[in-house]
Amino acid sequence: MATEVLPDERALRYGRRARALAAMEAHDLDVLVLGRPANIRYVAGVPLLWNAGTRAFGPGCVLVRSTGDVHLLSTWDEGVPDEIPHEHLYGITWNPVNLVSVLQRIGDAAEPRRVGTDALSPLFAKLLPMAFPRAQVVDGERALSLARRVKTDEEVSAIRAAIAIAEAGLAEAIAQLRPGVRERELTGVFMDAIASRGVTTPATQDVVRITRPLRRGADDHVHPGDLVAFDAAVVASGYTGEVGRTWLAGTDGNAFGVRDLFRRWSELRERLIEACQPGARGSALFAAYEAAGEAVPARPIVRGLGLGFDEPLVVRDLPETAVAERLDIGAVVVVTGYVADDAGAVIGHEAVLITPTGPEVLTSSPQWSA
């Protein structure tokens, strides 16, 4: 059974932190002030309390390049790794001036010239220059994003484990697919299945969705011939694992003319995976859709997997950046295939590791009821 480890394992922490320090060196950052939960966990190795809302920016973690020291916003030592000593912890406060005092003490010791931050609020845009009066405050998110897009071996293992849980939940939900069942019931089966494996956080809001266009008002019951898309995604030990499959409910595919949809999706899937070569650009993924004769959907067709949202990102509505986006060796991505016609839509998600010799598919081969 998967359970949350406190803190993250040593090899995972040290590998990520080394990449973060290398990124600071490459971008000439002396100090990195972090407020985003995924970035804090990446550097410190400490899981943060998950919630569904947004968080205001606050300096939750500080990384000093010259010493490799990590300073962490925490009121206790439990779950904090040994390499972060108690004197490097600072407590929660409602007075932001107290946080400025903490940062000033860190700055006095580090004497930074350039301080990077992964986000800012109007208040901290004024306070950070007070905390580091002799330093230039610059954008540090880009440096950390580039570090996070290429995974360490330990991160790949964590993603594999998350995918295994997602696939187990998917299998149990598909086993309960039958005419008359509701979308929310299938979602409940998936949630129960992953919870029994020690994971209680899905990575998407809509796990199950009927894709046939001829819906019956607000009816969310599955009817014979419905195409049902499953987006099985979980967050396990901080890492996202995802697999997507579409299933035909309660009848033979020939009766509803959907066999051709599955055939087209399978062809598109093979083209998309083949396009995931090391160093390939986002344009290659668009070309795969074109070669298969399918329209590129509005949803992202490539997304990075990792701690929260990772690069690369290839999406139709950002054409300039998407075409130039690159698939680096060591990146783990979700590739989305989408085909649709009057019979409905078939949607699938595959997790792919970009290796020096080509794409390695981390998800199981798809099986269809059609």
In the prediction, which pLDDT does 48 show? 80
Who wins on pLDDT, 173 or 219? 173
pLDDT given for residue 258 in this prediction: 84
Summarize the confidence of residues 89-112 as an average pLDDT: 92
Q: What are 107's two structure tokens?
A: 């700055």
Beta bridge partners of 332: 353
Using the 8-state DSSP alphabet, how is residue 3 labeled? Answer: -
**Going along the chain, which residue ranges are E strands?**
31-34, 61-64, 70-73, 89-90, 114-117, 136-139, 208-210, 227-236, 239-248, 302-304, 310-314, 332-341, 344-355, 358-361
Task: Identify which has the larger pLDDT, 339 or 366.
Answer: 339
* Same domain? 280 vs 214: yes
Same domain, 271 and 304: yes
- Tell me, rounded to whole angstroms, the distance of Cα 123 from its chain centroid: 29
- pLDDT bucket at 218, cuts 50 / 70 / 90: low
Threshold 0.75, pTM exceeds: yes
Q: Is residue 176 a part of any domain in this protein?
A: yes
Residue 176: pLDDT band (50, 70, 90) is: very high
CATH of the domain at 102: 3.40.350.10
Taking alpha carbons only, the member of 40, 80, 34 closest to residue 58 is 34
Write down which residue in 147, 169, 204 finishes a domain: 147
Contact assessment for residue 215 and residue 20, using Cβ atoms and an 8 Å cutoff: no
Of all residues in the chain, the percent with pLDDT exceeding 70 is 93
Same-domain status, 355 and 245: yes
Could you tell me the end-to-end alpha-carbon distance of the chain, in angstroms, rounded to an integer? 33
CATH number of residue 326's parent domain: 3.90.230.10
Residue 4 lies in a domain: no
Q: Average pLDDT in the 56-79 region? A: 93
| Domain annotation covers residue 56 | yes
In a domain, 274, yes or no: yes
Distance CA 238, CA 241 (A): 10
Calpha distance 35→117 (Å, rounded)? 8
Kindly state whether residues 126 and 210 are assigned to the same domain.
Answer: no
Q: What is the average pLDDT value for the chain, to the nearest integer?
A: 91
Range of the domain at 61: 10-147
Indicate whether 92 and 213 sit together in one domain: no
Residue pair 150/329 in contact (Cβ under 8 Å)? The answer is yes
C-alpha to C-alpha distance for 160 and 170, rounded to whole angstroms: 15
Tokens encoding 304: 């990075």
Q: Which of 43-57, 132-146, 320-334 has the lowest mean pLDDT?
A: 43-57
Closest CA to 322 of 292, 276, 271, 281: 281
Q: What is the DSSP letter of 279?
A: T
Q: Is residue 5 part of a domain?
A: no
Residue 66 in this model has a pLDDT that exceeds 70? yes
In a domain, 368, yes or no: no
The sheet that has 89-90: what strands, in order across it? 89-90, 70-73, 61-64, 31-34, 114-117, 136-139
Residue 346, helix vs strand vs coil: strand
Between CA 54 and CA 182 the distance in angstroms is: 30
In a domain, 370, yes or no: no
Which contacts (CB < 8 Å, 24+ apart) does range 169-173 have?
169/193, 169/194, 169/197, 169/232, 169/234, 170/230, 170/232, 170/243, 170/245, 173/207, 173/208, 173/230, 173/232
Given a cut of 80, whether residue 53 has pLDDT beyond it is no
